[in-house]
């Protein structure tokens, strides 16, 4: 049988691009009734030495070499960032090419616009690799939950922060030391702010939310706290209380409201998510009919991410009749976004206080006035020289708005040296 020849363009050839280029150039892809040629790759620096590439490739530095090449019918964008990726993807779609991308930032910020450009052009926009690396979570959400009114998504979706938190828990090292090590080992970028401040998780949560709930949140609609303020002591005390700490991304439906949040949280040790370690990811989807289902695996890295990119490529090549990733779960109703102030959970507080009588009573009074009752108190690390002590307080389930108000009053108490930590406990029914 004569095989058709298909020409691909690629934008970016770094960590993921190199893996994709090597796999595309591998003959196993040719079993898909088409011979796939990687015709042109746009990079920043076409003369850079690229020792990990198995085959010689044609590098270009002008996007028009791809956009205006009518032989190229599919473009894979692996450059990252919002701009110029948005411009390049739009131009490729408008010139009649299908586009596959791993770029969570551009899909999170400009996804709706790109989807509409793709629809208008009658072309496909696929982005499985933008969330969860090798975990096939977006196609599962789009295809396999269609009978389900999705109730909630809860996930560990940033490998860098999970790697840092796991090591802080296992080794009793400081955040700063583990971050430095993670950068040396390639688990964290030289500018790690998007990861450690929770921005990367916000991008991914917004993509999941759009597919699951037909709500397109902006990044500022999602409550965000990173892991950079977390101290080693929190791991020690949490462990004693039966918890570990993870960066959680959650979209939770309560009647007609949806609450979106990314923040570090205490997870009970016996919950599967507490045992997702290192750079691994886990996405929990509560499908309504299915109950909670867990998807776990490598959330990043060249081969897992390339796997997701290639599965998008194969689905275009085969014309597979998948439900388009742009079509959302059809059980959604009009959902309003709930403010974080409405959230309810148990709280963990660590307060450095003057070690003297009456301080705990003063804190308990403030909490009580805000309808927050104390579940347990540990007094730790008394410094006999400074006459300071750590109070570790666990509360019963309380309202975020009340806790915020109580915290500012506690901070103002004369005998409170510092409110070192306020963490939420993730609730599992």
Contact yes or no for 33/27 (Cβ under 8 A): no
Strand 4-11, strand 374-383: pairing: unpaired
For the four alpha carbons of 252, 214, 128 and 160, in that order, the dihedral sign comes to negative
Sole binder of ligand NAP in the list 6, 8, 10, 13 (CB under 6 A): 13
Q: Does 15 bind ligand NAP (CB under 6 A)?
A: yes
**Which residue lies nearest ligand NAP, judged by its C-beta?**
14
Q: How far is the CB of 191 from ligand NAP (least distance, A)?
A: 11
Q: How far is the CB of 84 from ligand NAP (least distance, A)?
A: 6
Beta-carbon count within 10 A of 161 CB: 30
Beta-carbon count within 10 A of 69 CB: 17
Beta-carbon count within 10 A of 292 CB: 14
Q: How far is the CB of 186 from ligand NAP (least distance, A)?
A: 9
Q: How far is the CB of 154 from ligand NAP (least distance, A)?
A: 20
- 380 counts as catalytic: no
Element (H, E) at 298: strand 292-298
Q: How many residues bind ligand NAP (CB under 6 A)?
A: 23
Beta strands in 43-165 (DSSP E): 59-60, 72-77, 98-101, 125-126, 152-156
d(CA 412, CA 12): 52
Chain residues 302-331 in contact with ligand NAP, contact rule CB under 6 A: 305
Helices and strands in the chain: count of H runs, count of E runs: 13, 18
- 108 or 398: CB nearest ligand NAP: 108
Strand 98-101, strand 125-126: pairing: parallel
Q: How far is the CB of 7 from ligand NAP (least distance, A)?
A: 19
- 305 or 315: CB nearest ligand NAP: 305
Identify the three-state secondary structure at position 257: strand
Chain residues 120-139 in contact with ligand NAP, contact rule CB under 6 A: 129, 133
Q: How far is the CB of 272 from ligand NAP (least distance, A)?
A: 23
In DSSP terms, 285 is beta-bridged to 153, 293
Stretch of 24-32, 98-106, 148-156, 410-418 contacting ligand NAP, by CB under 6 A:
98-106
Chain residues 271-290 in contact with ligand NAP, contact rule CB under 6 A: none
Contact yes or no for 87/109 (Cβ under 8 A): no
Q: Does 48 bind ligand NAP (CB under 6 A)?
A: yes
Q: How far is the CB of 351 from ligand NAP (least distance, A)?
A: 39
Sole binder of ligand NAP in the list 72, 74, 78, 406 (CB under 6 A): 78
Stretch of 41-49, 261-269, 321-329, 396-404 contacting ligand NAP, by CB under 6 A:
41-49
In DSSP terms, 399 is beta-bridged to 344
Sole binder of ligand NAP in the list 6, 9, 12, 262 (CB under 6 A): 12
Chain residues 351-380 in contact with ligand NAP, contact rule CB under 6 A: none
Q: Does 300 bind ligand NAP (CB under 6 A)?
A: yes
The count of C-alpha atoms lying within 13 angstroms of the C-alpha of 263, restricted to the half-sphere facing its C-beta, is 18
Stretch of 10-18, 180-188, 385-393, 420-428 contacting ligand NAP, by CB under 6 A:
10-18
Q: Does 257 bind ligand NAP (CB under 6 A)?
A: no
Sole binder of ligand NAP in the list 301, 326, 360, 366 (CB under 6 A): 301
d(CA 284, CA 281): 10
Contact yes or no for 35/8 (Cβ under 8 A): no
Element (H, E) at 251: strand 243-254
Q: Does 104 bind ligand NAP (CB under 6 A)?
A: yes
d(CA 83, CA 386): 52
Q: How far is the CB of 66 from ligand NAP (least distance, A)?
A: 10
Stretch of 39-47, 205-213, 362-370, 412-420 contacting ligand NAP, by CB under 6 A:
39-47
Chain residues 157-176 in contact with ligand NAP, contact rule CB under 6 A: none
- 104 or 109: CB nearest ligand NAP: 104
Which one of 204, 224, 246, 253 is the catalytic residue? Answer: 204
Q: Does 205 bind ligand NAP (CB under 6 A)?
A: no
Element (H, E) at 379: strand 374-383
In DSSP terms, 75 is beta-bridged to 9, 99
Q: Which residue, among 238, 242, 275, has the nearest Cα to 162 in the 3D structure?
A: 275
Q: Which residues contact 124 (CB under 8 A, 6 or more apart)?
A: 98, 99, 118, 316, 324
The residues binding ligand NAP (CB under 6 A) are: 12-17, 42-45, 48, 78-80, 84, 102-104, 129, 133, 300-301, 305
List active site positions.
204
């Amino acid at each position: 049988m004569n095989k058709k020849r298909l020409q691909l363009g690629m934008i970016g050839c770094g960590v993921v691009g190199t893996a994709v280029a090597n796999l595309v150039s591998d003959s196993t892809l040719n079993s898909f009734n088409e011979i796939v040629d990687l015709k042109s790759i746009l990079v920043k620096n076409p003369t850079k030495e690229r020792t990990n590439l198995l085959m010689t490739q044609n590098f270009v530095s002008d996007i028009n070499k791809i956009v205006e090449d009518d032989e190229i019918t599919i473009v894979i964008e692996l450059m990252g960032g919002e701009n110029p990726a948005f411009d390049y993807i739009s131009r490729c779609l408008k010139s009649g090419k299908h586009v596959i991308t791993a770029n969570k930032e551009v899909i999170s910020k400009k996804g709706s616009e790109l989807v509409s450009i793709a629809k208008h052009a009658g072309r496909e926009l696929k982005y499985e690799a933008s969330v969860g690396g090798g975990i096939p979570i977006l196609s599962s959400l789009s295809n396999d939950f269609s009978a389900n009114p999705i109730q909630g998504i809860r996930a560990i979706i940033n490998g860098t922060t999970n790697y840092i938190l796991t090591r802080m828990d296992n080794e009793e090292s400081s955040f700063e030391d583990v971050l430095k090590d993670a950068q040396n080992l390639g688990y964290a970028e030289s500018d790690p702010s998007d990861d450690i401040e929770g921005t990367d998780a916000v991008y991914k949560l917004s993509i999941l939310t759009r597919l699951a709930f037909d709500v397109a949140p902006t990044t500022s609609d999602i409550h965000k706290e990173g892991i950079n303020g977390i101290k080693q002591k929190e791991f020690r005390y949490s462990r004693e209380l039966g918890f570990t700490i993870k960066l959680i991304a959650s979209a939770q439906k309560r009647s007609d409201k949806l609450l979106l949040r990314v923040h570090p949280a205490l997870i009970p040790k016996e919950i599967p998510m507490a045992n997702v370690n290192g750079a691994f990811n886990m996405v929990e989807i509560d499908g309504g009919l299915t109950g909670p289902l867990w998807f776990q695996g490598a959330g990043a890295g060249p081969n897992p991410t390339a796997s997701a990119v290639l599965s998008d490529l194969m689905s275009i090549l085969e014309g597979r009749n998948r439900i388009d990733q742009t079509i959302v779960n059809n059980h959604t109703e009009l959902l309003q976004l709930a403010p974080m102030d409405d959230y309810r959970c148990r709280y963990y507080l660590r307060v450095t206080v003057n070690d003297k009588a009456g301080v705990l009573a003063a804190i308990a009074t403030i909490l009580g006035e805000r309808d927050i009752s104390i579940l347990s108190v540990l007094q730790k690390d008394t410094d006999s020289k400074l006459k300071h002590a750590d109070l570790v307080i666990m509360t019963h389930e309380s309202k975020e708005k009340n806790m915020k108000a109580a915290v500012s009053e506690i901070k103002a108490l004369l005998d409170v040296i510092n409110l070192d930590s306020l963490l939420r406990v993730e609730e599992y029914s």
